[in-house]
Structure 1
Amino acid sequence: MPQALNVNRLAKNYGSVTALREVTFTVPPGEIFGFVGSNGAGKSTTMRIVLGVLAADSGDVRLGDAPIGFADRKRIGYMPEERGLYPKMKVGDQLVYLARLHGLSKSDATTATEKWTRRLGIHERIGDNVNDLSLGNQQRVQLAAALVHDPDLLVLDEPFSGLDPVAVDVMSEVLTDKAAQGIPVIFSSHQLDLVERLCDTVGVISGGVMKAVGTVDDLRARDGLRLEVTGPDSAGRWADGLPGVTDVEYHDRSAVLHIDEGADDQRILAAALSAGPVHRFATTAPTLTELFRELV
């Protein structure tokens, strides 16, 4: 039965270099957690500690209320950022071998290999060596290797890297389906549009420190709303001093107002109309990409 992944106050140092500092987050069953940050921010280090590849200096990782152990880790589907496949081994043989390492019988491993190579669109390459595949198809094989033993937790490091748009759609559908089955899913990615579209919760890490954790909507709303107004001449700085307006970015014939939740939009509209015709008047929230830039 899948349980929540709880990462509690992880710390990791390499000499004088701090890789992780008090990193904490939870991935409940059936949710997708997007882990975002610049290169070297601490994403892969955190994932390797979850897998047991690295040991934390302090803090712990739990499945439910119990510390994660070796038997638990056999039930994790892991996809590393770097290629983790045997390049001169046939795709099918490799997936059967990896499934059997996770405890499947040869018959069950063969059935699972058939299922996932067909689902991921690489069945016609099942008899080819991995190094004869394109980078995108190698990435699909890596995902198949993470799924072939029917894991209770998915941990994927940059799974969308190098994929074409069709493969991205296939990968997205698989992750969504696994979450719908109650599996906790955590993946890292630099493609923030995908994170925003797929994830229930997002964690932003920088310099080994979690800068923000929350739902996409909560994170986008953390700095208040923005009001985009197009049309009035900005020369007169018509929005200065309006109640509820905390900041204004003026452009030639447009302005972006940062407003409090209780700001009177009708009063703002009247002020805009007094400065000229209004062609656009709409509230927006920052995208995840814009939020990421502000935090990192």
Structure 2
Amino acid sequence: MLELRGITKSYGGRRVLDGVGFTVAPGRLTGFVGGNGAGKTTTMRIALGVLAKDAGSVRLGGAEVTTSDRRRFGYMPEERGLYPKMKVGEHIAYLARLHGYGRADATARAEALLERLGLGERLGDSVETLSLGNQQRAQIAAALVHDPEVLILDEPFSGLDPLAVDVVAAVLQEKAATGAAVLFSSHQLDVVERLCDDLVIIAGGTVRAAGSREELRRQHSTHRYELVSAGDAGWVREQPGVMVLDFDGGYALFDADDDTAAQRVLRAAVERGDVASFAPQHPTLAEIFKEVIR
């Protein structure tokens, strides 16, 4: 488990991180979200040892991370970092060799990973001839080729089309399934919500919310319900303690003052006829994000 505790960082007189702490568990995908300048990239660079922290600790398996530990990390920065003149396959194999793999093994690993990421036909092309989206896939391959135990990715879905997003998401899920701890940042909240197991929301250099996706949705849930019935659901608007947000024939989306009011609506719906569904509605990540950063 990768654990950050009380990370603080200042530039001049401006504090950019203030007591940042969260965990990235093995076998799980942790989404790290926040607005521009919130502190995501700085936090990641400190975890990797690229930046020095002013206070706090970065721990792996309960002990302070060492230089040797960080050799087991994989990192994809937001900025392009590959050599533009090198051929894609040779470049990724070269990076594998830097991590101690023999030539044949490094080449095999690079080619298999690039094939999985949809770049199998571009092995002999130079990096600079790739589209920005394909360069992004190559960057991800560079972070993965040495089979890291901890994977840290800064905006891995930036510049990818929907099909490429699905490919990269599947590769990250496969990596987590092997037991790796995966931390990734993204501004694409719909992708984060679909993909991640855990969430960390940061704003102004402080963590505003952290936990499993379902835990956070429960914590920030309101008494919002969706009713789908066979008849006209207009009567819901007349129920005490209820505010209808959306209505269409037998469909009603409403907020209730409490569970008692919601159950009163359900009983009334059952008395009026068939109820196709009645369920609480949990907030989206975008809604949670807006709430916690206010």
- Scaled to the shorter chain, the TM-score interval is 0.7 to 0.9
- Offset at residue 256 of structure 1 (A): 2.9
Q: Is the 1:203–1:210 Cα contact (8 Å) retained in structure 2?
A: yes
Secondary structure of 2:234's match?
A: coil
Q: Is the 1:233–1:252 Cα contact (8 Å) retained in structure 2?
A: no
Match of 2:254 among 256, 274, 280: 256
Q: Normalising by the residue count of structure 2, what TM-score does the alignment of the two structures yield?
A: 0.87
Q: Normalising by the residue count of structure 1, what TM-score does the alignment of the two structures yield?
A: 0.87
- Offset at residue 89 of structure 1 (A): 1.7
Mark the runs of 5 or more structure 1 residues left unpaired by the alignment.
none
C-alpha change, 1:90 and 1:251, in structure 2 (3 Å) is closer
Match of 2:85 among 85, 88, 103: 88
1:227 aligned partner, one-letter code: Y
C-alpha change, 1:250 and 1:151, in structure 2 (3 Å) is closer
Alignment of 1:93-242 (within 5 A): 93-224=90-221, 225-228=223-226, 231-232=233-234, 238-239=238-239, 242=241
2:149 aligned partner, one-letter code: D
Partner of 2:280: 283
Secondary structure of 1:263's match?
A: helix
Q: 2 CA distance for matches of 1:209 and 1:121?
A: 37
Q: 2 CA distance for matches of 1:151 and 1:107?
A: 19
C-alpha change, 1:271 and 1:13, in structure 2 (3 Å) is farther
Q: 2 CA distance for matches of 1:249 and 1:13?
A: 47
- Offset at residue 123 of structure 1 (A): 1.9
Q: Is the 1:38–1:206 Cα contact (8 Å) retained in structure 2?
A: yes
Q: 1 CA distance for matches of 2:90 and 2:39?
A: 34
Q: 2 CA distance for matches of 1:58 and 1:249?
A: 49
1:206 aligned partner, one-letter code: A
Q: Is the 2:224–2:253 Cα contact (8 Å) retained in structure 1?
A: no
- Offset at residue 270 of structure 1 (A): 6.0
Secondary structure of 2:90's match?
A: helix
- Offset at residue 76 of structure 1 (A): 0.8
Q: 1 CA distance for matches of 2:104 and 2:234?
A: 71
% same residue: 54
- Offset at residue 228 of structure 1 (A): 4.0
- Offset at residue 279 of structure 1 (A): 10
Q: 1 CA distance for matches of 2:211 and 2:53?
A: 24
Q: Is the 1:239–1:271 Cα contact (8 Å) retained in structure 2?
A: no
- Deviation string for 1:227-268 (max 9, x for gaps)? 24694378xx7455x3xx7xx4656886631554x4353313
Match of 1:33 among 24, 30, 47: 30
- Deviation string for 1:212-235 (max 9, x for gaps)? 00111111111334124694378x
Q: 1 CA distance for matches of 2:200 and 2:124?
A: 39
- Offset at residue 269 of structure 1 (A): 4.3
- Offset at residue 67 of structure 1 (A): 0.9
Q: 2 CA distance for matches of 1:193 and 1:71?
A: 36
How many aligned residue pairs are there? 284
1:39 aligned partner, one-letter code: N
Q: 2 CA distance for matches of 1:258 and 1:154?
A: 43
Secondary structure of 2:159's match?
A: coil
> Over aligned residues, Cα RMSD in angstroms?
2.6
Q: 2 CA distance for matches of 1:250 and 1:193?
A: 22
Q: Does 1:70 align with 2:72?
A: no
Secondary structure of 2:74's match?
A: strand
Partner of 2:45: 48
- Offset at residue 272 of structure 1 (A): 8.4
Q: 2 CA distance for matches of 1:26 and 1:88?
A: 38
- Offset at residue 105 of structure 1 (A): 2.2
Q: 1 CA distance for matches of 2:253 and 2:103?
A: 64
